[in-house]
Amino acid sequence: MHLARPFLLLNLLTTLAGCSAGDPVESFSGPTMGSRYTIQYVPTAHTPRPGQVQAEVERILGELDQQLSLYRDDSELVRFNALPADSCRVMPPAVLELVQYGQSLSSASDGAYDQTVGPLMNLWGFGPHSRLQQVPRPAVLALTRQRVGYRHLSISGNQLCKDAAVQVDLNSVAAGYAVERIGARLQALGIGSYLAEATGELKAAGRKPDGSAWQASVPTPRADDQQASQVLGVDGYGVSTSAEHRHYFVQEHRRYSHLLDARTGAPITHALASVTVIHPSALSADGLSTLLMILGPEQGWDYASGHDIAALFVRRDGEMLSSRPTPAFERMAAAGKVDH
């Protein structure tokens, strides 16, 4: 699957601490969504052989590729996007679930988050059908914005419908959903201790053989230490980071991020550099990190605090970075662990 999620920066913003050499931990990895996935787990006498576990994981990833990818002509989503206005199509449960969740985020953000921004992503040069990264002419931008709007989507039974020729892009939640599905499958196979990661989205459950939790290191930069970080033990939670500084272009000394605010049809302009979210659902962590990143350092922080979301906001002021946690995140950081 190639969903190209460059704003989920595992190596820079969320690093994993695995087991020491000699521990009885199985692990495997492979390509997915234009990046990589990695699975670590503690086997027992009742779990399947590693090859079977890997086959189960890759079956899930392959299924989601066929359903959600925008980089293959035969995916379910591409076929839906090709339909004209006033059309419906029977869609897999995964697509319906992700669209429904995305609609809730759109409604909560007054349309700032929108899963139909595909034409705008292509126009600005960040989509799968982009030709050139550049600031579009106002007239072209206005015309393209007419093809965007989450309210044009609806779900009727097992069908996804649209009353305008909009196109759905599920990149902002696909990886988190994949990790959640993988975690559930590992649990069904009798694997109670695991760390599953795809393109930087992760979920961990259970304990390592030495009794410690799987770990995530989250940056907490401050004025006196730009490299400061907090290591949290994660058990039963997903961790997601959305960031603006890896996928962008510069025109006339101004930087344009791939993160678009659908209300304006343009990239975000605020000073927020990244948002990390910790949530029991990897899907929710994924979607919320993007939502909060689009909303920005003030509106996003107010939203997260008001909804008791554990989130860490990293703001850029010139070359300096500063972090601001929500109360829920502070509680987790104070305990040094995230146990669900």
CATH of the domain at 96: 1.10.3980.10
pLDDT of residue 21: 43
Tell me which residue of 336, 279, 228, 317 sits closest to 292, measured CA to CA. Answer: 279
pLDDT of residue 23: 56
- With respect to residue 144, please indicate whether it lies within any of the assigned structural domains: yes
Ordered per-residue pLDDT tens for the chain, 340 residues: 434 343 333 333 334 444 444 458 999 999 998 899 999 999 999 999 999 999 999 999 999 999 999 989 999 999 999 999 999 999 999 999 999 999 999 999 999 999 999 999 999 999 887 778 999 999 999 999 999 999 999 999 999 999 999 999 999 999 999 999 999 999 999 999 999 999 999 999 999 999 999 998 887 787 777 777 788 899 999 999 998 766 788 898 888 899 999 999 999 999 998 999 999 999 999 999 999 999 999 999 999 999 999 999 999 888 888 999 999 999 988 876 554 4
Residue 38, C-beta contacts closer than 8 angstroms, at least 6 positions apart: 16, 27, 28, 29, 195, 196, 197, 198
- With respect to residue 112, please indicate whether it lies within any of the assigned structural domains: yes
- With respect to residue 131, please indicate whether it lies within any of the assigned structural domains: yes
Tell me which residue of 92, 115, 119, 121 sits closest to 102, measured CA to CA. Answer: 115
pLDDT of residue 337: 54
pLDDT of residue 165: 94
- With respect to residue 134, please indicate whether it lies within any of the assigned structural domains: yes
- With respect to residue 146, please indicate whether it lies within any of the assigned structural domains: yes
Number of domains making up the chain: 1
- With respect to residue 86, please indicate whether it lies within any of the assigned structural domains: yes
Q: List Cα–Cα distances, 122 to 127, 141, 231, 264, in angstroms.
A: 4, 11, 37, 15
- With respect to residue 284, please indicate whether it lies within any of the assigned structural domains: no
- With respect to residue 230, please indicate whether it lies within any of the assigned structural domains: no
Q: Which residues pair with 313 in a beta bridge?
A: 275, 324
User: Distance between CA 339 and CA 332 in Å, rounded?
Assistant: 9
